Structures are given as structure tokens and as C-alpha cells.
Amino acid sequence: MAEQALTDISGLLNEEKWTRATLNNYTVNNFKELDNVLEQVFAEGRQDDVLAECEEHLQHTKNSIIALYISGVLHISRQTVNDTNLVALINIFADNHKWNIVAYLANRILEFGENKAALRTLADCYNNENQLDNMYAVWERLIRVDFDEADIVRRLAERKEEFGELEEAVDYYKKALHRYINKKAFNNLREVWHKLIQYAPEETEFFYHAESKIAKSISPERASQLLEELYPYFKNNQRWDTAIELLKRILHYEPKNAFARNEIVECYRAKYADHSHLEEYIKLSNLNQTWRNIHDAIADFEKHISFDAGNFVHHRAWGVGIIRSIDDDSVVVDFARRRGHTMSLKMAVSSLDILERNHLWVLKSIWKKEKLRKKVKGDVVWALRTVVKSCGNAADIKRIKAELVPSILTPNEWTAWSAKARNELKTNQEFGNLTDKLDHYMVREQPITFEEKTFNKFKAEKNFFDRVKTIDEFLDYIEDGGIEGTDSQFFREMFDYFVGSLRNVTTVNEYTISSLLLVRRIIARYPFLHPGDLDLEFLPHYEQISDLEEVFRWIENADLRKEFLQHLRRQVSDWPDRFVQLFPYALTREIITELERAERTDKLQELFHRLHSNYRDQREPYIWLVRNCYQDKWFQELEMPFEKVLISMIHLLDITYRDIDNKRDTTYNRKLNRQIHGFLFKDRNVSQFIADAEEMSITRIYTLISDVKDLDPSIRIELKQQILDRFPKFKFYGEQEAETVSRGFITTPRSFENKQKQLQRIQEVEVPENSKEINAALGLGDLKENAEYKAAKERQDFLNSTAARLKEELETAEVMRPDEVKTETVSFGTRVQLQNNRTGAAETYTILGPWESDPENSVISYLSPLGSKLYNRAPGDHLKFEINEREYDYVVEAVEPAEF
């Protein structure tokens, strides 16, 4: 039965070859019968065998209808872009005008997803059969997948225009315009440009965007020409500001354009018709003199024309004022503290800034504070619009806050207000981002769409992986039904950026491989986006990577790292070795799980031993592996006692405490410190070890813990009590003598003074600074996503716990002075000379306290494992002992006072 499908196909192919059926004998029913056979092929899972049979048949019978159809369906069912055989079949029947079969074949292709060739063919079928409504419906689908098609888009626009559906017509004309720009078809785009002037002249932002693309892709002169054709609408409607802006854009491209220069003078005359010095300023700026640089002339004129009686101005020292009068070359200004101040026009132009009547500084001067405060709090959008425009139509959150706090809002009021403001800036279409500064906002003349706002964000981003995140957000929005789809011109430009990264590749780096993974992911959702001229296979690109670790570690996007590992697992034979190699750069359970599924516990154990042997430098992956896998079966089967794992984690706890004290990678080490602390004490792994282990092992673990000087003393007390409950006669080395010193330990005067200074600095400097950091972070609003606030609060917890610990230790510490040291035996403040019987070498140690401990320089704490073994020993004593599975054999040669 398993051979039935293949047998049937072979029979059909042979029958076709011997009977030589003509095209005229084929009907749609013949293909439906082939579909029934294909269902059996899929049911039996014999696709590969049948495809091979068909491909072999086509080598000597290239126009076999059955082989072309079956192989074509099998290819396209795999979501590949190989539609060659079905397209060839369509062409055969189209040439013979068998339109019903052509339509069937096209629809068969479309069952597996949108396809440009199939849609175009189907539209031709409907056209030949005069089914125009169906043809237009297929065209609407076609233009969503064929981004190069412009003429059909235009015809759809004309049809909508014919039926009076002008809003949809405008949308199609806009798409057609962009596509003609890409084709550099100026005559076509000019005709569409005129249609848009007819139906949507007010959408200046669209025209400006299109104009800039035309200037880059065709020529500045063509862009200028089109702006000249848009200009009359605004002149005729006396929209002087927009008319002037259009003329400035023309003059930007063509500074010597006589038409634009003459027109801008006339527009200024119309706009400032009531200004008392209009003609004087036109003459003064040489605006209508061709020898004067037009841009300098415009700047001069606009600076002068803004000086007129009744206008508001600002002086950096005297604040806001109002112009009382202008007489010849004299300007009189009323400032709040300087009424009737007179200055020359030249001085006024150079030292005063003109303010609009609705400028925030003007409102602060003429409105009562309570009225302005109420307006700002009650109308967030108005306030944002006012502040942003007052800042030259470009302001970030920091600048907005500076304008409002504390002159209008209190810091507490700002916290609540800024959360609303951030939401408005993000979602309100009236506000957009500057294309070169993502964190700066502007007020738009026309509402901005989500896709344009996203595109502006994409262009402004400098980091490659930020752009990956932005296009992912755009795709998520499409899938949520937020916008029409991938036929957006903005999406196409973003997508082409990543496709461009795959062209002419000489070196495969993190950007190349990430572009490959992203493009593959997108075309998996939208196969019609496949750039057919590119090889998008993973393995050839992977094999060109020269430094795998270096490339992988710099893939910042977690999803892309995950996809990279998935491809590695499926396509690379030595993937277990590569997983072990890459684990430190991708701390993810997927790596562990895949190795477990493949029963490669040998690689997991290799990974652990590799990290354990270098846990100081590989601390983060080692800590992750221990915390997340210590209960796994493979971990418990390691040929390593759990005691050694605890010893390494305790050592890392001490190292991270030291790095934090030394301000080395503080945030990073705090994070690791919390993870280790949680594993050892919160998860009760040390406590469980004490409950199960032998007394000697407990001694080793407890002495290591007691030597971590920054650990909370309450943890030591709790562990000590647990040990005593199990072993009432347990000997805590080094603590017998210390118990005579109240509840504390012994230290030197210098260490005691340093700790006092440290506590004083924390209380008087660092805590107040931290309070300021918290208040500043609160001002940023949105505490759930406020990284500055979280970091400041973590710092607060750290400072409070450190201060409490220092205070307790200072209260319980006993200061030992040099003249109080006794040298009859090894004790605090002595230097002991030893003979090492195992090596034959002489060794010298200075015995001090935990605050002075410096093992690298042979200064050890009397509470440390070695210090406790030496403590109270006299010259001539022979000592043999073991610490952490290492044996020691010493003779005490001499004991003398240490310098401290």
C-alpha cells in the first residue's frame, strides 16, 4: 500500500508518454483527478520519491503536463519560491487560450500563498473573459505583493476616482507615485503628482517626503519643478506660510531660480501687508537683488520683519518684553524690570529673540501662574504643543521638564503629568519624532501615521539591532490588524535595508547573519517578499564565519540568537560542540534541553567542567548553569562532590563582594552577588548541605562562609546554630579566642578609623546623593519601565544594609594596639615564621583580623581556616592539619610583633 501513490504516478506518466494526449484533450477535471492522486502522495508521505520520479521524467519529456503539474505542486507546497514548473504549465495553456485551465492552475498556486505570477495570470484570465470586477479585485491583491508594479496601481486609482471613491483613489495615487519614483519614471509620476494636487493638496508632509525622494533618485531640478506646480494652490488660497515654505524648498534646490525669488518677495508683501516697515526691510535685506545670496537675504528679512510694535521679544538678561515702538533706527521695548528701554535696530536684531504670542515664556509673563498651571495640568496635549513649539519645534522630555518644573508644576505634579505626556507623545498622531534625534519630538502640520512614525524612528536609529526591533514592532502591528500590510512603501524601505546587507558580502559578521535570519523569518510569513536573486540558505553563510564566538556574542537580539541556534542544530553536524562553545554567550535553557534530548550528557558535563575550571573569569555562565541545572539528572551524575560546587559559589560570593567594594563593574557584580546569595541561602542549599554532610565537610564550608566579611552576620549565626543542633561539640576554628572579645572581633586602630570614615561617608555623602538620584528618577515617570529608578532603589538597599552592618561591627569590635600584643604564642598582631615540612620552604604570615586580611601579601585573619589552625601555637610546636582537602605540615620557628 505504501507504494501505491508512486505506482499510480508512474503509470500516469507512462500512459501520457504512449498516448501523446494533446492539449485540446485536457480539461479542468483532468487536473482535479491529479489532485486526488496528490492527496494520496501527501497521505503516504512519498513527496520526495514522487518529485524525483517527475524530475527524472521531465529530463527527457520536458513538456509533460502531468510531470510539470505534480512536481510544481510539490515544490510550491514546501513554501519555496520555485514555481517554475507551474508557471511553465500556465504559459503552455495560455498560449493555447485555454483560459479555464489557466485560471484553475493560477488558483491552485494561490492556495499555497500569494504569488505574483499567478495573480497576474488570473487577472489576465478575467480580462479575457470580460470579468472586470474580478480582474480589479485580483489587481488589488497583486499590488500588495508586487512592489514594482506601478501602472496597475494607477489604474486602480483611476477606477476609484471614476466611482467617486476619492479617499481610496488618493491612497492608490500615493502608492503609484512612490513606485514611479523608484522606477525613475518622471512623466508618469508627474501626472500622478497633478492628480494628488487636485484631490489632496493639503497633505504637504506627503509631498515633502516624495519631493526629497525625487531629488535623490531623479534630480533636484525635477523636485523643484514639481514644487513649482504645487505652489499655485497655496498662493491662490492665500496660504502664505505654506507658499513661502514651498518657495524656500525650491530655492534650496535652485538658489538662482528667478521665479521663486520674485514670488517669495510677493508672498512676504502679502503676509506682512500691515507691517509698518515692510518695504524698508525688503530693501535693507536686498531680498529682491539677484547679487545677494538668497538664503542670507531671507534670514535677514525674517529677522527684521519680526520687529514690529506689539511683538514679544526675549533678552537673555532682562527676560520677556514687548516692543512699544519702532522709529527709524530706534526700537523701544518694555521689559518687566526695564520699562521704555531704547536700543538701535541693529542692536535689537542681534540681541533679541522674537517670541510668538503663544510662546510659553510669553504666557508665563502675561498669565497668572495659577491659570497657567491649571491649563497645563488639565490639557496635556495643549501643554505639549505649546512647549515643543516654544523650543523651536524640537524638544525631548528633559527639555519639557525644564520648561515646566518648578515654574509651573511641582516635582510631584510632574511625576503624574509626565506619564500622561509620554503616552500622548507616543500615540497621538499630532506629535512625531525628529528623524535624526529619536528622543526629540515635534508638532506635525498633518497627523502622522503609525507606519511613518515607525519609519522615522527606523531612519534615526544608529544601532543595527535597534532597527531589527523596530521592524519587528512594525510587523507585529501588521499582524494585529493595525495597518494594511507589507505593501507600505515605508515597510519596503525598511525591509530593503536588511536585504541590502546580504548583497556583495565579503565577510560574514553579526550584521550579515542577523540580516539573513531576519529576512528568512519575514519571507516565511510573506513568501512573496523573497528577493529571488539572493541565496538565503543558512549553511553557506555559516561556513564563511571566521570567528564563531565573536560573531555570536555580538548578536544583541535574543530572538535572532535563538534562531541562529535552531539552524545550527538542524544543519551543522558538530552542533553539540558548537552549543558548548556558544553557551557562555547565550544563557538559555534551550541549549541544555537540546543536548539532553540528543542524550549528549557528555557534552553537558564537558560544559560544566570547562566553566568550573575557569569560574572566576566565566562567572556569569557558571552561576547560571549551577542555579538552573543543579537538580538535573546529568548534573547530579557529575564526578564532582556538591561540596566543591558550594566552595566555588562561596568563593564567587566573596569575589563579587570585593568587586562591589572596589567599585568594579558594580551593577554587574551586584546582579551576580544577588544570584549567588539566593542560591546559597534563600534556596537553602547551604542549609541542606549542613543537614546531610559529614562534620569535616561542614567545617570546610562554614569556615569559608565565615571568611566572607561582607556577609550579613545573621546568616552566620543561623548556620552556626544549625550546626550546633546537629553537632553540639562542633569546633568553630578561630572563634574560641574571639568569644572573649564580647560578640565582635579584634581589629587595628587604623582599620577601625577607616571603617568609621566609610560609615560616615555613606551616611553623609552617599545616602544624600542616592536620595537625589531617586527623586530625579521619579521625575522621569513610568516606574514600571524606569531603569534609573530601579538602579537608584537597588543602590539605596545596598547603602542601608552596608551602613547597618558597619555600625554593628564597629559597636562590637575591639581595638588592639601594638603595645598590647603578646608574642608567647601566635595571636593577633604577631608575625609567625614557619617551616613547611612538605616543601622544605620557610613561610611567614602576619596574623591580623578580617578587616586587615590580605592573603596575597601573607596577611591572614586569625578567624580564617589557616589562621585558626596557627592561633595560640608556640615556637617549636609541630602542626599537621587539613583544609579543603589540602594537607599541611608545619613547625613554628618564631613568633614576633607585627607592624601595624
pLDDT score of 286 more than 70: yes
What confidence tens digit (pLDDT) does each residue in 136-159 have?
999 998 988 888 899 999 999 999
pLDDT score of 739 more than 70: no
Rounded to 10 degrees, the C-alpha dihedral 794/798/800/801 comes to 130
Q: Is the dihedral of CA 571, 577, 582, 583 positive or negative?
A: positive
Pairing of strands 431-433, 441-443: antiparallel
Q: How far is CA 896 from CA 493, 737, 741, 869, 893, in A?
A: 79, 19, 22, 18, 10
Per mean pLDDT, which range of 401-405, 703-707, 808-812 is the poorest?
A: 808-812
531 confidence band (pLDDT: 50, 70, 90): confident
Question: Once rounded to an integer, what is the mean pLDDT over residues 60-86?
Answer: 82
Helix (H) / strand (E) element for 863: namely none
- The residue type of 526 is Y
In angstroms, rounded to a whole number, what is the distance separating the alpha carbons of residues 209 and 84? 39
CA-based radius of gyration for the chain: 40
> Is the separation of the CB atoms in 381 and 404 below 8 Å?
no
What confidence tens digit (pLDDT) does each residue in 319-376 have?
999 999 888 788 999 998 889 999 988 888 888 988 999 999 999 999 999 999 999 9
What confidence tens digit (pLDDT) does each residue in 543-566 have?
999 999 999 999 999 999 999 999
Query: Which carries the bigger pLDDT value, residue 745 or residue 199?
Result: 199
> Is the separation of the CB atoms in 657 and 673 below 8 Å?
yes
> Is the separation of the CB atoms in 845 and 870 below 8 Å?
yes
pLDDT score of 869 more than 60: yes
Reduce the DSSP state of residue 552 to 3 states and report it. helix
Residues with Cβ < 8 Å from 418, sequence gap 6 or more?
397, 400, 401, 779, 780, 781
Respond yes or no on whether the N-terminal peptide bond of residue 584 is cis (omega within 30° of 0).
Answer: no
> Is the separation of the CB atoms in 888 and 881 below 8 Å?
yes
pLDDT score of 791 more than 50: yes
Reduce the DSSP state of residue 805 to 3 states and report it. helix
Q: Nearest to residue 596, comparing CAs of 585, 586, 607?
A: 607
Reduce the DSSP state of residue 582 to 3 states and report it. helix
User: What pLDDT is recorded for position 1?
Assistant: 39
> Is the separation of the CB atoms in 338 and 318 below 8 Å?
yes
The residues that bridge with 830 in the sheet, in sequence order, are 847, 897
Per-residue b or e along 248-284, where b marks 16 or more CB atoms closer than 10 Å to that residue's CB: ebbbbbbeebeebbebbbebbeebbeebebbeebbee
- The residue type of 380 is V
Q: Nearest to residue 626, comparing CAs of 661, 585, 667, 675?
A: 675
pLDDT score of 767 more than 70: yes
The residues that bridge with 845 in the sheet, in sequence order, are 832
C-alpha cell at 462: 544608529
Rounded to 10 degrees, the C-alpha dihedral 48/52/58/60 comes to -170
User: What pLDDT is recorded for position 47?
Assistant: 87
Q: Nearest to residue 315, comparing CAs of 345, 340, 349?
A: 349
CB count, 10 Å around CB of 304?
Answer: 21
How many Cα neighbours within 13 Å face the side chain of 843? 22
C-alpha cell at 894: 618564631
pLDDT score of 166 more than 70: yes
What confidence tens digit (pLDDT) does each residue in 454-497 have?
888 888 888 999 999 999 988 888 775 544 566 777 888 899 89
707 confidence band (pLDDT: 50, 70, 90): confident
User: What pLDDT is recorded for position 20?
Assistant: 59
User: What pLDDT is recorded for position 708?
Assistant: 87
pLDDT score of 15 more than 50: yes
Q: How far apart are the first and last CA of the chain?
A: 93
pTM: 0.60
How many Cα neighbours within 13 Å face the side chain of 348? 30
Q: How far is CA 198 from CA 170, 260, 311, in A?
A: 10, 22, 38
Question: Once rounded to an integer, what is the mean pLDDT over residues 494-519?
Answer: 92
In angstroms, rounded to a whole number, what is the distance separating the alpha carbons of residues 272 and 803? 69
Percent of the chain whose predicted confidence (pLDDT) is above 70: 95
Reduce the DSSP state of residue 432 to 3 states and report it. strand
780 confidence band (pLDDT: 50, 70, 90): low
User: What pLDDT is recorded for position 376?
Assistant: 95
Helix axes 695-706, 713-726, angle to 10 degrees: 170
> Is the separation of the CB atoms in 344 and 337 below 8 Å?
no
Q: How far is CA 611 from CA 580, 606, 614, in A?
A: 10, 9, 5
What confidence tens digit (pLDDT) does each residue in 203-261 have?
998 999 899 999 999 999 999 999 999 999 999 999 999 999 999 999 999 999 999 99
User: What pLDDT is recorded for position 870?
Assistant: 92
pLDDT score of 165 more than 70: yes
Question: Once rounded to an integer, what is the mean pLDDT over residues 253-274?
Answer: 94
pLDDT score of 667 more than 60: yes
Percent of the chain whose predicted confidence (pLDDT) is above 90: 52
In angstroms, rounded to a whole number, what is the distance separating the alpha carbons of residues 447 and 206? 11
pLDDT score of 382 more than 90: yes
pLDDT score of 741 more than 50: no
pLDDT score of 309 more than 90: no
C-alpha cell at 257: 531660480
Chain mean pLDDT for the chain: 88
**Following DSSP, what letter does each residue of 116-168 receive, concatenated?**
HHHHHHHHHHHHHTT-HHHHHHHHHHHHHH-TT--HHHHHHHHHHHHTT-HHH
Residues with Cβ < 8 Å from 5, sequence gap 6 or more?
37, 40, 41, 43, 44, 46, 50
Q: Using CB atoms within 10 Å of the CB of residue 576, give its burial: 0 to 12 exposed, 13 to 18 middle, 19+ buried.
A: buried
In angstroms, rounded to a whole number, what is the distance separating the alpha carbons of residues 645 and 761? 37
Per mean pLDDT, which of 111-115, 455-459, 744-748, 868-872 is the most reliable?
868-872
- The residue type of 88 is A
Conformation bin of residue 833: beta by default, left when phi > 0, alpha when psi is -120 to 50 = beta
Q: Is the dihedral of CA 706, 708, 712, 715 positive or negative?
A: negative
In angstroms, rounded to a whole number, what is the distance separating the alpha carbons of residues 79 and 113? 8
Question: Once rounded to an integer, what is the mean pLDDT over residues 567-591?
Answer: 93
The residues that bridge with 835 in the sheet, in sequence order, are 842, 891
In angstroms, rounded to a whole number, what is the distance separating the alpha carbons of residues 517 and 498? 10
In angstroms, rounded to a whole number, what is the distance separating the alpha carbons of residues 99 and 162? 29
pLDDT score of 696 more than 90: no
User: What pLDDT is recorded for position 76?
Assistant: 82
In angstroms, rounded to a whole number, what is the distance separating the alpha carbons of residues 154 and 192? 8
DSSP 8-state secondary structure symbol assigned to residue 898: P
Q: Using CB atoms within 10 Å of the CB of residue 613, give its burial: 0 to 12 exposed, 13 to 18 middle, 19+ buried.
A: exposed
How many Cα neighbours within 13 Å face the side chain of 60? 6
DSSP 8-state secondary structure symbol assigned to residue 395: B
What confidence tens digit (pLDDT) does each residue in 633-666 have?
999 998 889 999 999 999 999 999 988 888 888 8
pLDDT score of 18 more than 80: no
Pairing of strands 842-848, 441-443: unpaired
